[in-house]
Structure 1
């Protein structure tokens, strides 16, 4: 699997996008409001940054309250989220999602529990 994106929790996705566009030369690839948050995908040539700004409440808002801004998760591209979940389950990994679900940008996604993955929230993403 290849790294697809790093999810970044932020209080201001537009300002952080502007910073990364100017400093890193990334380009805005996609923007949407999804699941109670503003989501901005930045194309950084060899992967994406997914900037996550919550409107009110929700998982990302709780994360920001607890941890502050920063890396929230790492996402890996797969051609079959269900098969990737099966492999993880067979390896004894605790799943956040038992089955794929709709994610931002029209992707099917599923998450692995960070308690089973070295403290890193891992996402499988199928475009």
Structure 2
């Protein structure tokens, strides 16, 4: 496993992109509308910031209403997402996704329930 990205819920992806580009030299490398969100990836060299701005309410919109802007999830890269899910299940971690599904940028993803991971929403991502 390796760190892949931090998913950040925001109501101003454009402003945060400009700030992170200036302050952290985080280069914008990908942008798409996915699952009711404006999704932007900013390359830090050793991982990404993934900025998530709701377009149609949805999960990120509800998250922002409850919690305000901030870190939504942490993503770990794996070469074997199905194996990673199986290991998590064997250790008693409850998956949100029973099987990998397509996520942003066309990657396979699967989320683990935060009640099983110390209160942190964890995403497995396979490029």
User: Normalization by structure 1: what TM-score?
Assistant: 0.98
1:13 and 1:3 mapped to 2: Cα distance? Answer: 22
1:65 and 1:124 mapped to 2: Cα distance? Answer: 25
1:96 and 1:78 mapped to 2: Cα distance? Answer: 17
**Shift of residue 29, structure 1, vs aligned partner:** 1.0
Question: How many residues are paired up?
Answer: 127
Q: Which residue of 2 aligns with 1:19?
A: 19
2:83 and 2:77 mapped to 1: Cα distance? Answer: 12
Q: Which residue of 2 aligns with 1:30?
A: 30
**Shift of residue 100, structure 1, vs aligned partner:** 0.1
Unaligned ranges ≥5, structure 1: none
Structure 1 segments (4+ residues) deviating >6 Å: none
Alignment RMSD (CA, Å): 0.5
User: Normalization by structure 2: what TM-score?
Assistant: 0.98
1:5 aligns with 2:9: no
1:20 and 1:71 mapped to 2: Cα distance? Answer: 14
